[in-house]
Each structure stands twice: as C-alpha cells, then as structure tokens.
Amino acid sequence: MNQTKPVRVAIAGLGSRGLDTYAAYAKIFPDKMRITAVAEPRQERLLAAAAAYDVPSDLCFATAEEMLECEKLADVMFICTQDRQHYAQAAAAIKKGYHLLLEKPVSPDNSECAEIARLAKEYKRLVTVCHVLRYTPFYRELKRLLDAGTIGEVVTVQAIENVQYWHQAHSFVRGNWAREEETSPMILQKCCHDMDILLWLTGKRSRYVSSYGSLFHFRPENAPHNAALRCLDCVAGDTCPYNAVKIYLTNERTGVLHGKTDWPANVLALRPDEDSIRRALREGPYGICVYKAGNDVVDHQVVNIELEDGSTVNFTMSAFTSRGGRTLKIMGTMGDIQADMETNLIDVGVFGKEHEIIDVNKLADDFSGHGGGDIRMVEELLDQVASGAEPGTGLTSIDRSVESHYLAMAAEYSRLHHGQSVSMEEWRQRLMS
C-alpha cells in the first residue's frame, strides 16, 4: 500500500495495554502510527509516554474524559482503560469522529455493547474490539483448515482455556479483575475471547447456552492455618504455589532472583527491580495472600453451547493448570483436529489417513503479544484507517464482537440460575427491544 502519512493515534489509558503494549507499535512501525495525544491519571506513566513518544504537554491529559472535551486530536483513539470505563469513552469518541481500537470487554452491560455497535454504524466508524486471537497465526491456521473442509463439517468442539495458576492469582485474585462489581464476570472478562473465537472458527451463531462454575479455591477457609496476610511475612510460603515472592521475584524451583521485568512484573512497577517489586508486595494488592484478597470472580467455569445447526461446543475455563494457553479438540464428519496454542502444534487426523502435525511456529516470525495477535490486529486497523476502508471489512468488527459478549453474559446468567438453558434468540430480541 502506498501510505503517505502515519495514522494519528490518541491513547486513553496508559497501563499495561495502552503503554506497554500498543504505544510501542509507534516505534515498531513509525511510518504507520504516530501518537498525537495521551490520557492517563497516573502522572508517572503519562510523563513516561510523553517523553518516549514526543507528545507535547498540552496534548497530555489526566483523563480520557478531558481529552474527549477537546476537538478531535487523532484519527483513531485506542481505549485502554478499565472495563467499566469503555462504554462512555467509546460512545463519546465515536461521536467526536474517532475510529476506535476498543479494549475488551466493550461493557459488562449487553445493551451498552449493542449501543456501541449502533453508534459505529450511524457514524460510520471502524471499531475494532481487541479480540486478538483472531489475528494469531495459530487460529488463522485452524480457521484455514476448517474453511477448507479438511475435517468435513464441524459437529463438536471441546475447548479449554488454561488460565494457569499464577495468572489467575495475578489478574483475577489479587489484581484488576478480582471483583466482579468493579470489572466484569470472568466469563466475559477473560473468555469473551473464547466465545468470539469459537463462533468465528465454526462460522455459526449460537442457539442455546448453559453454564456452571464457582469460586472454588481462593477463599479464606482454604488458607493454610498459619498463613499471613502478606506473602513477604508468610511461613507457609515455601509450599504455596501462589506465593507472590515466587511469582514476581524468584525462580520457583531454585529460589534465585529471576530478574524478569516484563509482564506481569511491569504491572507492579513502571521500572521493575527487586526494590520496587518488594515495595509493591509490601504495600500493594499483589503481595496479599490469595486466600485473603477479597476476590469474588469464579476460578472455574464450564459453558455448553448449542449452535444454530445443532452442532455443539463445550468450553472450560480453569485457573488450575500448570501451563497457560488454549487447547482445542474439534471433531468433524471427516476427521478431527487437536490443537495447543502453547506449543503452537496442530494435529490433523483425517479419518483413514496418517495424522499430519502442523507446526505453526514455522508459519510466521512474530509470536509476540498474545501469540502474535496484538501486533497484527493493530496493523490491520491502521491500514484500514489509512486506506479509508469501510467498517466491517476487517478480520473482526464491532458487529461480530458483540455476539461474543452476548454469549458470555447469557452464560453468566445461566451460571447464576443453576445452569438454566438460555435461548440466544430471546436474549438478542430482549436487547433489541
């Protein structure tokens, strides 16, 4: 593409996503992206962004709301604030004339999701919800295989999101998404990705959904009897896999300092080192015992989905896995596929033939950030904006993204009603009325 000027980007929220992930792309492809305005209440991060990306002080704002009071300052706004802030900021930005990179979830309220989709249509804006998995070489390869009919028609899918024990402790017990009232239910917050990717892979709409799940383990009554409030003071730390010292500072087997400074250490401190991490563990939420953190989101959940043609999906989210990543078994009329995003291996078993192992590691170079999804998603949106692409022409769009949010919230409704089956048709109709 003959692109003359970089797309101008305003970033709302300079946390882990806004600053550590997306802002960095302005350095990776400076010909495509220039950061022209930023908003963030944490002064240290606002100043760091201004210095790194040459943003003048009059275009640095303490909040997205202040930034949105100004005339349009960029072509696209990246909305990277917390879950319950997205809706109002996104609605205001669309009306102001911005295209959007909108962090998921759009909103825990399905009617607000529908409203963002409606506004995007009315104002003809591109709105990419950050369903990054669609952009990964791993899922693209799976989609290619399914669309090519390699295993015939998909009849059953079994999918697991292996959250991993320490990731659950970091994000959903101690961290930003521990309490539903402040953020979103786990099945939306973490698994709207899975709902989206399962609908995309099968290419079908959902008809019925039911779900069970609970907060099984990270509760006060499961704490060792001698557990302290903070891991730094805890005598039970040696045998506790959730010990924050092991997660953020030391190698869990050798006990030697590991010196890691990337995620999740950079959530605890802008410039993580032993001192700043120890301070965070002493003073902040990430050093608190996982059994005493006041969390309430589930640590395991199962979702059963009947798709429009009677095929079915069974999805499990679990904190209790030693490895992270997603695993799938897709069963079709002519064969099956077993795939593991952690290893990037896809095993294709066409009935009556030798199994073929596809090593996705050999299909692409860049697997940074969500298996290579982050960077490819941003690049697609920048290219779309630069070329004046029509909304709905990218790999994903707000219309498609809201379906995953409807499905997740219907599953949550079911979970809260003892697994009652929810008709997705009725769910959508209620939203529209």
Ligand X SMILES: NC(=O)c1ccc[n+]([C@@H]2O[C@H](COP(=O)([O-])OP(=O)(O)OC[C@H]3O[C@@H](n4cnc5c(N)ncnc54)[C@H](O)[C@@H]3O)[C@@H](O)[C@H]2O)c1
- Binding to ligand X (CB under 6 A) within 226-255 occurs at none
Q: Does the footprint of ligand X cover residue 130 (CB under 6 A)?
A: yes
Query: Does residue 176 touch ligand X according to CB under 6 A?
Result: yes
* Residue 409 in contact with ligand X, rule: CB under 6 A: no
Q: Compute the least distance from the CB of residue 368 to ligand X, in Å.
A: 13
Nearest residue (CB) to ligand X, 42 versus 329: 42
Number of residues that bind ligand X (CB under 6 A): 27
Q: In angstroms, rounded to a whole number, what is the distance separating the alpha carbons of residues 218 and 354?
A: 44
Q: Kindly give, in sequence order, each residue whose CB lies less than 8 Å from that of residue 52, ignoring residues fewer than 6 positions away.
A: 23
Among the listed ranges 35-43, 116-124, 213-221, 298-306, the one in contact with ligand X (CB under 6 A) is: 35-43
Residue among 191 and 346 whose Cβ is closer to ligand X: 191
- Between residue 335 and residue 394, which ones bind ligand X under the rule CB under 6 A? 370
Sheet holding 99-102, edge to edge: 60-61, 33-39, 7-12, 76-79, 99-102, 127-129
CB of 51 to ligand X, least distance (A): 16
Rounded distance, CA 90 to CA 9, Å? 14
Q: Which of 370, 368, 385 has its CA nearest to residue 197?
A: 370
- Nearest distance, CB of residue 194 and ligand X, angstroms: 11
Shortest distance (Å) from residue 112 CB to ligand X: 14
13 binds ligand X (CB under 6 A): yes
Out of 24, 29, 34, 41, the only residue in the binding site for ligand X (CB under 6 A) is 41
Kindly report the backbone phi and psi dihedral angles of residue 158, in degrees, each rounded to the nearest multiple of 5, phi listed first: -120, 120
Q: How far is the CB of 69 from ligand X (least distance, A)?
A: 12
Type of residue numbered 37: A
Q: Please, which residues have CB within 8 angstroms of residue 391's CB and are 6 or more apart in sequence?
A: 120, 121, 124, 125, 126, 127, 397, 398
Q: Does 63 bind ligand X (CB under 6 A)?
A: yes
| 64 lies in the site for ligand X, by CB under 6 A | yes
63 vs 312 by CB, closer to ligand X: 63
Site track for ligand X across 80-119, x = CB under 6 A = xxxx-x-----------------xx---------------
| Nearer to ligand X (CB atom), residue 129 or residue 331 | 129
Asked if 272 is part of the footprint of ligand X (rule: CB under 6 A), the reply reads: no
Compute how many other C-beta atoms are within 10 angstroms of the C-beta atom of residue 399: 13
**First-to-last C-alpha distance (Å) of the chain:** 43
Could you list the beta-strand ranges (E) of 122-205: 127-129, 154-162
Residue closer to ligand X (CB basis): 187 or 337? 187
81 or 404: whose CB is closer to ligand X?
A: 81
42-61 binders of ligand X (CB under 6 A) = 42, 45
Binding track, positions 177-206, relative to ligand X; x by CB under 6 A = ------------x-----------------
Two tokens, residue 425? 């048709």
CB of 377 to ligand X, least distance (A): 8
How many C-beta atoms lie closer than 10 Å to residue 431's C-beta? 15
Cα gap 79→313, rounded to integer Å: 31
Tokens, residue 309: 């043609």
Tokens of 139: 């899922």
Residues 6+ apart with CB under 8 A from 50: 38, 56, 57, 60
Q: How far apart are CA 77 and CA 281, in angstroms?
A: 33
Q: How far is the CB of 314 from ligand X (least distance, A)?
A: 23
CB-nearer residue toward ligand X: 117 or 234: 117
What residues line the site for ligand X (CB under 6 A)?
12-18, 39-42, 45, 63-65, 80-83, 85, 103-104, 130, 132, 176, 189, 370
